[in-house]
Structure 1
Amino acid sequence: MALWSLAYGFVVAAAVPGNLVVIWIILAHRRMRTVTNSFLVNLAVADAAVAALNLLVNFLYALRGDWYFGAGYCRFQNVFPITAVFASIYSMTAIAVDRYMAIIDPLKPRLSTTTTKIVIGSIWVLAFLLALPQCLYSRIKVMPSRTLCYVQWPGGPKQHFTYHIVVIILVYLFPLLVMGITYTIVGITLWGGEIPGDTCNKYHEQLKAKRKVVKMMIVVVVTFAVCWLPYHVYFILTAVYQQLNRWKYIQQIYLGSFWLAMSSTMYNPIIYCCLNKR
């Protein structure tokens, strides 16, 4: 318990201040307010909120098996993590599409500030709609020895499994596929050779800057994918092989996969710092 508490506490201590600093750097400096950075702010807001509002609550519940936080927060903690993760990964997807448009078809007009805000707002609305069923079916059950917070699906475990598969496809596999395709094409374009006859210093500086941004975002996406993969695999395996839920060490496996998934909230500020001087 002491080791897990230390591990989860460290994630909160690193993720909340780190992401708040990213938000401040971009919003407080006018030259930093680009389309890409607007999506990075959205990503940082989602990560900071998850770390501050959900991580320790979920950890305490997983560790103690007793819900201390009331019916309202039970609904919130069942709906907000999916909403925030959706917002995070689709912000990364929007950056990938924006980079693709800027590099593959540079003569087309870029996203305006208004359009960027509409895209960010749409991401949060769609994220909430995807998570809404968990909010609607959240329940509190008061027992003599403890209180439970859970999602009671009308269709039982089968409906829960179907919903989780849909979430994995929409919040993990599909956006990763889109980013994989766009960054592969962008990478081939940026690293596949120089443009004949264009050897001026300004061109090389612009090419180098574009490569830096793309390299940084690829690291962000790969980090997210690696961190969340064990968590999704855990839920699929325990749903298919339900006897695993009675295994002696399954709680430790859950805490480990959940910690790795939540730790994704603290890596991005470190990646930005290491890979981008601005």
Structure 2
Amino acid sequence: MDLDYGATDCNVTNDTSVSNNCSQGFNQFVQPVWQVALWAVAYCSIVAVSVVGNVVVIWIILAHKRMRTVTNYFLVNLAFAEAAISAFNTVINFVYAVHNDWYFGQIYCHFHNFFPIAAIFASIYSMTAIALYRYMAIVHPLQQRLSSTETCVVITVIWMLALLLAYPQYYYSSTNLLPGRTICYIQWPEYTTVDFRKIYYVCVTLLIYFLPLCIMGCAYTTVGITLWASEIPGDSSEHYKEQLISKRKVVKMMVMVLCTFAVCWLPYHIYFLLHEFFPDLFEQLYIQQVYLAVMWLAMSSTMYNPIIYYCLNSRFRAGFQQVFCCCVATVTKEERPIEALGLTLLHFIFLRKCGLNT
């Protein structure tokens, strides 16, 4: 479903069928400046944390050979998708939701409706691939593991399916010039026998939310029973104990990522399904605040994963500390000449005062 189609958009089915508010160029959802400023800070914070955090995650994995595992390659794909959503869609969504005026042109309207679904699909199925990989590695340890090449093939297939699923939103996206403003919407085809739009939205919700969550839930339940069903035997080797503890930590981290995604996106999917089947509920003035809150929660899912990795994985924590310590060290190094110059001037003045300068 299109991420920009919310409470502030117009119900457009063709170029001549618009609501009264749209035809008059009137936006009934107007907020005070202080409210807009608070929402702006909230949305910009998502972009800053998400882009920086996910870019650092990508660097940690790709720059360190020891981190290049199958699970981490999928985490790179996940981080890339989340950083891209934040960078290209989050602020645009906010601006369009607040102003109800599309400033970004026809081409970006196509991209704006198309890319988020592809990226969300890539994100959730990267997590699903990790869950299935952990399931095979732990429950069926004798089965052949994925190689790096096979992992790249799986990631490529995920993106191809993602682009295919999102293509209808690209194809039917359009802009419409109204009195005083422009709107970006999806001009769905009209059929007499079926409602293509409702069918598409229900299918998308099932494919990018409920189906992968069910698959991951079953996989991690089985993995959890396998890893935690019994205590570590007392006579086990230290290597075996370390491996088991490491596997448990990875599973805990990924379950946390899964739960965060599920909680953040559930209100969003409920909102848009209600919008499709009960459109009259969305004519209230407060619905814009509901839309902005639901959208903020969904978009905020892109910034939590780097925090989870930092808190629950020692290698990622070391990588983050390395990045930020280098940044601090660089700033300190740049400041040293200035500090030295200041101390030299103070020393010169002190000598002049004491009559010791020659």
- TM norm structure 2: 0.76
1:82-121 alignment, distance < 5 Å: 82-121=117-156
Q: Which residue of 2 aligns with 1:31?
A: 66
Q: Which residue of 2 aligns with 1:181?
A: 218
1:72-221 alignment, distance < 5 Å: 72-155=107-190, 158-194=195-231, 199-221=236-258
Q: Which residue of 2 aligns with 1:55?
A: 90
Q: For the aligned residues, what is the CA RMSD?
A: 1.3
Name the % identity.
Answer: 61
Following the alignment from structure 2 to structure 1, what is the Cα–Cα distance between the partners of residues 175 and 218? 43
Q: Which residue of 2 aligns with 1:66?
A: 101
Larger radius of gyration: 2
Cα deviation, 1:18-71, whole Å, max 9, x if unaligned, reads 000000000000110000000000000000000001111111111100000000
**Mapped pair 1:241 → 2:246:** no
Following the alignment from structure 1 to structure 2, what is the Cα–Cα distance between the partners of residues 146 and 233? 29
**Mapped pair 1:13 → 2:56:** no
Following the alignment from structure 1 to structure 2, what is the Cα–Cα distance between the partners of residues 65 and 13? 24
Cα deviation, 1:108-164, whole Å, max 9, x if unaligned, reads 121011100000000000000000000000011011210010001002793222211
- Paired amino acid for 1:86: F
Give 1:195 deviation, angstroms: 6.6
Give 1:197 deviation, angstroms: 7.7
- TM norm structure 1: 0.98
Following the alignment from structure 1 to structure 2, what is the Cα–Cα distance between the partners of residues 152 and 85? 22
**Mapped pair 1:276 → 2:313:** yes
Following the alignment from structure 2 to structure 1, what is the Cα–Cα distance between the partners of residues 286 and 203? 28
Cα deviation, 1:215-269, whole Å, max 9, x if unaligned, reads 0000000000000000000011122211112111111111100100000000000
Following the alignment from structure 2 to structure 1, what is the Cα–Cα distance between the partners of residues 133 and 235? 24
Listed as ranges, the gaps of 5+ residues in structure 2 are 1-35, 316-358
- Paired amino acid for 2:131: A
Q: Which residue of 1 aligns with 2:266?
A: 229
Bigger drift between 6-15 and 234-243 goes to: 234-243
Q: Which residue of 1 aligns with 2:5?
A: none
SS in 1 for 2:314: coil
- Paired amino acid for 1:12: V
Q: Which residue of 1 aligns with 2:289?
A: 252
Following the alignment from structure 2 to structure 1, what is the Cα–Cα distance between the partners of residues 178 and 170? 21
Aligned residues of 2:77 and 2:122 also touching (Cα < 8 A): yes
Following the alignment from structure 2 to structure 1, what is the Cα–Cα distance between the partners of residues 114 and 54? 21
SS in 2 for 1:91: helix
Listed as ranges, the gaps of 5+ residues in structure 1 are none
> Which among 235, 247, 264 is matched to residue 301 of structure 2?
264
Following the alignment from structure 2 to structure 1, what is the Cα–Cα distance between the partners of residues 90 and 233? 52
Following the alignment from structure 1 to structure 2, what is the Cα–Cα distance between the partners of residues 37 and 239? 38
Bigger drift between 12-21 and 195-204 goes to: 195-204
- Paired amino acid for 2:226: T
Following the alignment from structure 2 to structure 1, what is the Cα–Cα distance between the partners of residues 197 and 281? 17
Following the alignment from structure 1 to structure 2, what is the Cα–Cα distance between the partners of residues 167 and 100? 26
Give 1:198 deviation, angstroms: 5.5
Bigger drift between 213-222 and 240-249 goes to: 240-249
Cα deviation, 1:3-29, whole Å, max 9, x if unaligned, reads 110100110010000000000000000
Aligned residues of 2:114 and 2:167 also touching (Cα < 8 A): yes
Task: Give the structure with the higher percent helix.
Answer: 1
Aligned residues of 2:232 and 2:241 also touching (Cα < 8 A): no
SS in 1 for 2:174: strand
- Paired amino acid for 1:117: C
